Amino acid sequence: DVKVTQSSRYLVKRTGEKVFLECVQDMDHENMFWYRQDPGLGLRLIYFSYDVKMKEKGDIPEGYSVSREKKERFSLILESASTNQTSMYLCASSFPGTTMNTEAFFGQGTRLTVV
């Protein structure tokens, strides 16, 4: 089975801290994604990576950065955490969407609270 693992399910951080959210997948997927999920807003794309060291901004990249040094690992970085970044963060991975294997597989999510 495909597995996407996020390093923490719950995280509490202080305002101004630098926060790292880690995601690892074991299916050799080229694509990896970070989404933010808020009630009533659905899932919004923060960043997307389609290959090692390659990244593209999503819809809400402000206040975030990402790192993909290895194919299986995609990190989301909050440079200086703020209370409005309190949210659920979902990582996902997939093959390129040129084949039948177009579905994305998701991690368990990280509930981040910034106080």
Partner 1 sequence: AQTVTQSQPEMSVQEAETVTLSCTYDTSESDYYLFWYKQPPSRQMILVIRQEAYKQQNATENRFSVNFQKAAKSFSLKISDSQLGDAAMYFCAYRKPQRLYGGSQGNLIFGKGTKLSVKP
Residue from 1, 10, 14, 42 that binds partner 1 (CB under 8 A)? 42
- Residue 23: name the closest of 77, 97, 86, 102 by CA: 77
Can residue 82 be called a binding residue for partner 1 (CB under 8 A)? Answer: no
Interatomic CA distance for residues 46 and 50, integer angstroms: 14
Q: Which of the residues 89 through 108 are near partner 1 (CB under 8 A)? A: 90, 92, 94, 96-98, 100, 102-104, 106-108
Residue from 17, 28, 51, 79 that binds partner 1 (CB under 8 A)? 51
Can residue 26 be called a binding residue for partner 1 (CB under 8 A)? Answer: no
